[in-house]
Chain A
Amino acid sequence: MAMVDEPLYPIAVLIDELKNEDIQLRLNSIRRLSTIARALGEERTRKELIPFLSENNDDEDEVLLAMAEELGVFIPYVGGVEHAHVLLPPLETLSTVEETCVRDKAVESLCRIGAQMKENDIVDFFIPVVKRLASGEWFTARVSSCGLFHIAYPSATDPLKTELRTIYGQLCQDDMPMVRRAAASNLGKFAATVEQSHLKTEIMSIFDDLTQDDQDSVRLLAVEGCAALGKLLEPQDCVAHILPVIVNFSQDKSWRVRYMVANQLYELCEAVGPEPTRADLVPAYVRLLRDNEAEVRIAAAGKVTKFCRILSPQLAIQHILPCVKELSSDSSQHVRSALASVIMGMAPVLGKDATIAELLPIFLSLLKDEFPDVRLNIISKLDQVNQVIGIDLLSQSLLPAIVELAEDRHWRVRLAIIEYIPLLASQLGVGFFDDKLGALCMQWLEDKVFSIREAAANNLKRLAEEFGPEWAMQHIIPQVLEKINNPHYLYRMTILQAISLLAPVMGADITCQKLLPVVINSSKDRVPNIKFNVAKVLQSLVPILDQSVVDKTVKPCLVELSEDPDVDVRYYANQALQACDQIMMSS
Chain B
Amino acid sequence: MWKGFIGKLSGKAPKSVGGGGGGWGSPPSKSPTSYGANGGQWDPMRSSPPLPVVAGAEGDTREDVFLRKVTVCCVLFDFSTDRVGRDSPERERKRQVLMSLVDCVGAAEEPLTEAMVSACVGMFAINLFRVFPPKVRPGAGGAAEADEDDPFFDPSWYHLQVVYELLLRFVMSPVVDVKVARKYVDNSFISRLLDLLDSDDPRERDCLKTVLHRIYGKFMGNRPFIRKAVSNIIYRFVSEDDHHNGIAELLEVFGSVISGFAKPLKEEHKLFLCKALIPLHKPKAVGMYLPQLTYCITQFIDKEPKLSGTVIRGLLKYWPVTNSQKEMMFLGELEEVLELTEMPEFQKCMVPLFRRVAHCLNSSHFQVAERALYLWNNEHVFNLISRNHQVILPIIYPALERNARLHWNQSVLNVTMNVRKMFFDMDQKLLLACQKKFQEEEEKQAESEERRRLIWEHLERNAAFHQVTGDISFSVVTKSAPLVAPTMT
The residues of B that contact A470 with a CB separation of less than 8 Å are: none
Q: Are B473 and A41 in contact (CB under 8 A)?
A: no
Q: Are B481 and A42 in contact (CB under 8 A)?
A: no
Q: List 4 extra interface pairs beyond A13-B459, A37-B463, CB under 8 A.
A: A8-B462, A38-B463, A76-B473, A80-B469
Q: Are B131 and A254 in contact (CB under 8 A)?
A: yes
Q: Are A3 and B236 in contact (CB under 8 A)?
A: no
The residues of A that contact B141 with a CB separation of less than 8 Å are: 410
The residues of B that contact A248 with a CB separation of less than 8 Å are: none
Smallest beta-carbon distance A56→chain B, Å:
16
- Does B306 lie at the interface of the complex (its beta carbon under 8 Å from any beta carbon of A)? no
Interface residues in B433-483 (C-beta closer than 8 Å to A): 450-452, 454-456, 458-460, 462-464, 466, 468-471, 473-474, 476-478, 480-481, 483
The residues of B that contact A178 with a CB separation of less than 8 Å are: 232, 235-236, 239-240
Interface residues in B249-286 (C-beta closer than 8 Å to A): 275, 279
The residues of A that contact B133 with a CB separation of less than 8 Å are: 255, 293
The residues of B that contact A27 with a CB separation of less than 8 Å are: 484
The residues of B that contact A295 with a CB separation of less than 8 Å are: 134
- Does B489 lie at the interface of the complex (its beta carbon under 8 Å from any beta carbon of A)? yes
CA distance A216 to B191 in the complex (A): 12
Smallest beta-carbon distance B293→chain A, Å:
17
A residues in contact (CB < 8 Å) with B: 1, 3-4, 8, 10, 13, 17, 21-22, 24-25, 27-28, 31-32, 34-42, 60, 73, 75-77, 79-81, 98, 100, 138-140, 176-178, 181, 214, 216-217, 253-256, 293-295, 333-334, 371-373, 410
Q: Are B480 and A34 in contact (CB under 8 A)?
A: yes
- Does B146 lie at the interface of the complex (its beta carbon under 8 Å from any beta carbon of A)? no
Q: Are B236 and A38 in contact (CB under 8 A)?
A: no
CA distance A22 to B480 in the complex (A): 20
The residues of B that contact A13 with a CB separation of less than 8 Å are: 455-456, 459
- Does B11 lie at the interface of the complex (its beta carbon under 8 Å from any beta carbon of A)? no
The residues of A that contact B489 with a CB separation of less than 8 Å are: 21-22
The residues of A that contact B455 with a CB separation of less than 8 Å are: 3, 8, 13
Q: Are B476 and A73 in contact (CB under 8 A)?
A: yes
State which of B239, B454, B474 has its C-beta within 8 Å of the C-beta of A4: B454
Determine the residue in chain A with the shortest Cβ distance to B195: A216
Chain B: interface residue count, which band?
35 or more
Q: Given A28-B481, A98-B279, A177-B236, A76–B458 Cβ distance below 8 Å? A: no
- Does B49 lie at the interface of the complex (its beta carbon under 8 Å from any beta carbon of A)? no
Q: Are B131 and A39 in contact (CB under 8 A)?
A: no
Q: Are B456 and A214 in contact (CB under 8 A)?
A: no
Smallest beta-carbon distance A337→chain B, Å:
8
Q: Provide a sorted-by-A list of 10 A–B residue pairs whose CB atoms are within 8 angstroms.
A: A8-B455, A28-B483, A34-B463, A35-B459, A36-B459, A38-B463, A39-B462, A73-B476, A76-B469, A98-B279
Q: Are B140 and A333 in contact (CB under 8 A)?
A: yes
- Does B85 lie at the interface of the complex (its beta carbon under 8 Å from any beta carbon of A)? no
CA distance A13 to B451 in the complex (A): 12
The residues of A that contact B275 with a CB separation of less than 8 Å are: 98, 138
Q: Are A255 and B134 in contact (CB under 8 A)?
A: yes
Smallest beta-carbon distance B75→chain A, Å:
17
Q: Are B460 and A35 in contact (CB under 8 A)?
A: yes
CA distance A373 to B232 in the complex (A): 41
The residues of A that contact B451 with a CB separation of less than 8 Å are: 1, 3
- Does B137 lie at the interface of the complex (its beta carbon under 8 Å from any beta carbon of A)? yes
CA distance A140 to B240 in the complex (A): 11
The residues of A that contact B188 with a CB separation of less than 8 Å are: 214
Q: Given A3-B451, A32-B481, A24–B471 Cβ distance below 8 Å? A: no
CA distance A214 to B239 in the complex (A): 20
